[in-house]
Structure 1
Amino acid sequence: MNYQIELRHLLYFKVVAEELHFRRAAERLFIAQPGLSRQIKQLEDYYKTNLFIRDKRNVELTEAGVYLKKEVDLIFNQLSNVKDHIEKISEGKITSLKLGFIGSAVQAILPQLLVELKQKQPLIDITLNELSNEVQMEMIHKQELDFGFVRIENTPLGIQSVPILTEHFSLVVPKNRFPKAKGKVNLMDFTEEPFILFSKEYSNSYYELVMSIFDDHGFEPNVTLKTVNALSIFNLVSQGLGVAIVPTSLKKGYHTHVDFLELNHLPQRTTLSLVWNKKNRNPGIPMMLEIVNGLKGKS
């Protein structure tokens, strides 16, 4: 039998896939369980495959069900975005923008960008979320963020990227503990020191880039602490718990009891990039990119 699939079929599937329990899903949807089962059966007949593996105790997604769940999540997220944009437009606003960022973006470009955005569109709604690189990329893919400021080496297919700032690294040490060298900082002088680094959860490619610095010097660092937060690193260093290697731009904007010893003689560089999803049709995206390109031209 041929059925015409409607949005409610996908909604019912989404809730069952989240609950993996037909009774709880029916309660969430305020419908009878037999009716919900019929709707799911219609969906499975339409796709000519089972979406769930069911027995008396368990409900699991099939491989096809797992795929459909990802696509349905994107569909409903897009519908939510459309609703949000229409509400903003009806209020006289061009749109809303959800921005993800890592700490160093605050020192590099983000404040200037927000000033420019508000000058061009005073009523625009902007939501800021400080998130790790990996979480930002996941949310950009799902269009749960409109833009992200990240440090990653390669972007997945479908994700656009423009470089914002390429910079060298600095060694972060407790205030006045190590005399500032007149020449180049020799990292070999710190082989016995415990290191505090951004973890792989911050960005796997960034972590590997930092580790390549130690590889070039022929020693494996004693990494005693890892975090995804720059301020946490600085506070731990100031307490004498170790030293750290971070992007040099992070020395701006933080009032902490540490010294920055620049490592600009090293070949390693890290790039802060702006990323967004090519499929994202948020009307604020072109304006954002225009402002970013203008700010880059001034720098």
Structure 2
Amino acid sequence: MELLHLHYFRTVAEELNFTHAANRLFISQPALSMTIKKLERELDTELFNRNGRTITLTNQGRILLQSVEKIENELALVKDRLSNPEQDVTISLASSHGRFIQILLAEFLVNPSATLFNTEILSNREILSQLLTDEIHFSISFMEIKHPEVTSEPVIEEDIVLTYPGHYTEQEVMRVLYDNETAKSFLFPSHNKDYNSFIKLKMTEFSLYADSIRYIDDVSLQVALRQQRHFSFVPVSVCRELKLPFVAKDNLTIVSKIYLSRLSRGLTEEQQTVYDTIKQFFLREAASFVK
């Protein structure tokens, strides 16, 4: 299967007319028809439904078209990078939490010439999948990414503490914490099931139970927390940022780790530079992540 033949196929699929496609490709219509028939024989399937001069894509043709578009788009990107080696480097990274991305973008995009980032908020399973397929270069998460092809290193620890409604004092919280009504007042972020499972497991260890679990998105969660009407386990750095009250006792503090993960085979020089810079940033700011 030749790339040129795939390009011919894509052109016919876009034009849905052999004559128009041939004119666009600057080849004869019979030569184009023969190329498509050869491709169909090679794939052992029909790519087009033919009804006189009218043609449409078959289901197999649509599947092939999607793949060809991806291949040609990737080749175009590679060609552009090879012809412009000094262009801006774009780093693709994912995180288990939007706050990690916010922290990094605030730190690294203040410079007009700074590295550009493609970012996503994903579950650990999605992060692993995209690392293995090179869709992202590295990730930042609160849990280790376990796979033989992935290096996942803990960078710093952070304290996750219990914030509570503002009309309570910390002493009052300790008296009402195990009441039934209190159990109905916990908030959890809706975007991250891994985090919620982790927190609920730790709550069980504290003999705390959330009878009616409320899941809300990150933006709504911040708004709700600012109102100081609910209980929630949140990083102490978030409590400081939002000026939230929190229980300082160690026996109600969850100690977690922040991991940087990448493929074990390594990164390019530019990617490694950004990776190391992010790692040093977290190490430098480690004190802000603990009580």
The 5-angstrom pairing of residues 114-129 of structure 1 reads 114=108, 123-127=113-117, 129=119
1:249 aligned to 2:237? yes
- C-alpha distance after superposition, 1:73-107 (max 9, x if no partner): 8755653553454465345x5x3323444333258
Contact 2:157–2:258 at 8 Å: present in 1 too? yes
Q: Which of the residues 147, 153, 165 maps onto 2:156?
A: 165
Partner-residue secondary structure (3-state), 1:31: helix
**TM-score, scaled to structure 1:** 0.63
Which residue in 2 is equivalent to 1:19?
Answer: none
Answer whether contact 1:172 1:243 (CA < 8 A) is retained. yes
- 1:33-56 per-residue CA deviation (whole Å, 9 max, x = no partner) reads x9998766645544x555979899
Corresponding position of 2:213:
223
Deviation of 1:294 (Å):
4.1
Residues 123-162 of structure 1, C-alpha deviation per residue, up to 9 Å, x if partnerless? 4531253634466556545544433323344345644433
SS in 2 for 1:237: helix
Whole-Å separation in 2 of the counterparts to 1:152 and 1:69: 38
How do 1:63-82 and structure 2 match up within 5 A? 75=71, 78-79=74-75, 81-82=77-78
C-alpha displacement at 1:197, in angstroms? 0.6
Which structure has the bigger radius of gyration?
2
Aligned residues: 269
CA separation of 1:290 and 1:154: change in aligned 2, threshold 3 A: closer
Amino acid at match of 2:75: L
Instruction: Give the RMSD, CA atoms, in angstroms.
Output: 4.8
Structure 1 residues 88 and 42, CA gap change in structure 2 (3 angstroms) = same
**SS of residue paired to 1:188:** coil
- Equivalent residue, structure 1, for 2:277: 291
The letter for the 1-side match of 2:78 is: V
1:147 and 2:138 aligned? yes
- Provide the C-alpha distance between the structure 2 equivalents of 1:177 and 1:77, rounded to a whole number of angstroms: 57
Partner of 1:238: 226
Aligned to 2:202: 213
Amino acid at match of 1:98: S
Q: Which residue of 2 aligns with 1:271?
A: 257
C-alpha contact 2:164 2:229 (8 A) present in aligned 1: no
Structure 2: how far apart are the matches of 1:77 and 1:262?
Answer: 53
> What is the Cα deviation at residue 205 of structure 1?
2.3
Q: C-alpha distance in 1, partners of 2:260/2:148?
A: 15
Partner deviation per Cα, 1:164-199 (whole Å, 9 max, x = no partner):
33323222333x222124997985257433222122
Distance 1:87 1:31, change over 3 A: same
CA distance in 2, matches of 1:155, 1:226: 28
The amino acid across from 1:79 in the alignment is: L
Give the direction of change, closer, same or farther, for the CA distance of 1:214–1:76 in structure 2 (3 Å limit). Answer: farther
Structure 2: runs of 5+ lacking an equivalent? 23-28, 287-291
Which residue, 88, 93, 96 being the options, matches 2:90? 96
Aligned-pair distance for 1:222?
Answer: 1.3
Partners of 1:268 and 1:28 in 2: CA distance:
64
Q: Distance in 2 between matches of 1:271 and 1:31?
A: 57
Gaps of 5+ in 1: 17-21
Q: Distance in 2 between matches of 1:37 and 1:221?
A: 67
Task: State the 1:233 CA deviation.
Answer: 1.0
The alpha-carbon distance between structure 1 residues 84 and 167, as it changes in their structure 2 partners (threshold 3 A), is: farther
Deviation at 1:293, TM superposition (A): 4.6
1:9 aligned partner: 6
Judged with a 3 Å threshold, the aligned counterparts in structure 2 of structure 1 residues 159 and 237 are, in CA distance, closer, same or farther, namely: same
**Match for 1:188: what amino acid?**
Y
Question: Cα distance 1:58–1:128, how it changes in 2: closer, same or farther (>3 A)?
Answer: closer
Q: Calculate percent identity across the aligned residue pairs.
A: 17
* Greater mean deviation of Cα atoms: 235-244 or 151-160: 151-160
Name the SS of the counterpart of 2:92 in structure 1.
strand
Q: Residue 221 of structure 1 aligns to a residue in which SS?
A: coil
CA distance in 1: counterparts of 2:183 and 2:263, whole angstroms = 44
